[in-house]
Each structure stands twice: as C-alpha cells, then as structure tokens.
Amino acid sequence: MTEAVRVPIDGGWLDGDLDARPDSKGVILFAHGSGSSRHSPRNRYVAQVLVEHGFATLLIDLLTPEEETVDDQTARLRFDIDLLAGRLTAIIDWIKRRRALAHLPIGLFGASTGGGAALVAAARRPQDVRAVVSRGGRPDLAGDALPAVPAPTLLLVGGRDPVVIDLNRQALARMRADAALEIVPGATHLFEEPGTLERVATAAAAWFDKKLAVSESRSPARS
C-alpha cells in the first residue's frame, strides 16, 4: 500500500513514501532528524505501528537530492530550522490539496532537529496541524514559536539522555498548549535499547488516537 510520491517545491521536489488506506483516520507527517532521511529505520518502525493503528503515514525527505549532497559535506542545512519548517508547511499544503488526504486531520512526528521544525510548522499552520509528537527531539530549536503552538504536543525523551531532557523541560515551560513530557526509562538518544522504541511507538499511537481527531474548536491554552 506504500506509494512513492514527489512534492514539488521551488527549484525541485521532495521524495516521500505515503501509506494511506481508504479508512485512515488521520495522516502523520514525519520530520526526520539531522543527517537522516525518509529511510530512517526508527521512523519507519514507528510509521508501521501507526499504520496498524489506522493512520496514514508520510515519510518524506525535507531536502532535495541536490541539497542532500551539499548537506552531506557541510551538515549545514540539517540545522536550518526555518528551512525545514518551511518544507513541512509546503508538504502540509500538498496534503490538503490531495483528494484522498484532504479530509484527514494532520499530525506531525518529529525526531531530533525535526522536533523543532515540526513545532514551528505547527505554529505556522494552526488550523491544519492537530497534534505533535517529538522523539528525542530538540523543541528548544523552535524558539519564539513555542508559545504559539496550539497543537497538543507529546515530548518523548530517553531517560539516559540528560542534556536533551533538560532542553525539553525548558521548551515545555514555554508552551501554552496541552503538552506533556514523557521520559522513557533506560533509553539513550536514539532509543536503540530493547523495548524503548516500541514504547515510543505505542505512546505516539495513543497520543494521536486521543488528540488528533478533536474538533476544530480547540481546548483553552494552558495558563
């Protein structure tokens, strides 16, 4: 059921893998982390679990093939949060134009730097993005966009990733939306330890199940 897609952007395109069923209850757009791509085995595992829970998933590169070549040499573009968030908003707009997906609520799943980009995109498309999950993410990189994010947000961080735990706590304190931090015991930054990625996938599915299909009228922001 996986379909190769290309999302046009200025001067090129973004390659993606879309898995959508006629009865999908929402579409989850993945924002991969620094130096990764739509082929990330961790994100693909999470996507598989989300599909099993009834969601459509879109794993997509946020850089064009030419940009990937440059980034492999410089590692510069992978930290350009404004650029990555702009790509996510372009993909969200593409989803809204695609007949089979346009009616579905949209969730974002970000990893590493993709977590920061996902939150900026959620602030830029407040009526479209209904929920966000960040895995080992850098929500702090969203900066001044954090208080403007209306989407319910779950921050998942490994218990053995103390620097990122602290950065997530700082970001959480700036958010006004319905947001929570969940620490996965025994996990390091990449969630490579047995059972930890499974816990991430289960938590993400539960969050999207609970938050994604809410009505257009959002609950009041946290004080």
**Cα Rg of the chain (Å, integer):** 16
By C-alpha distance, which of 186, 167, 173, 183 is closest to 222?
173
pLDDT tens-place string over residues 58-82: 999 998 888 877 777 777 777 789 9
**Per-domain boundaries in the chain:** 2-211
Task: Look at residue 220 in the predicted model and tell me its pLDDT.
Answer: 40
Q: What is the spatial distance between Cα 151 and Cα 133, in angstroms, rounded to a whole number?
A: 10
The string of pLDDT tens digits covering residues 111-128 is 999 999 999 999 999 999
DSSP 159-206: TT-HHHHHHHHHHHHH--SSEEEEEETT--TT--STTHHHHHHHHHHH
The domain made up of 2-211 has a fold known as Rossmann fold (3.40.50)
> Considering only CA atoms, which of 67, 58, 66 is closest in space to residue 96?
58
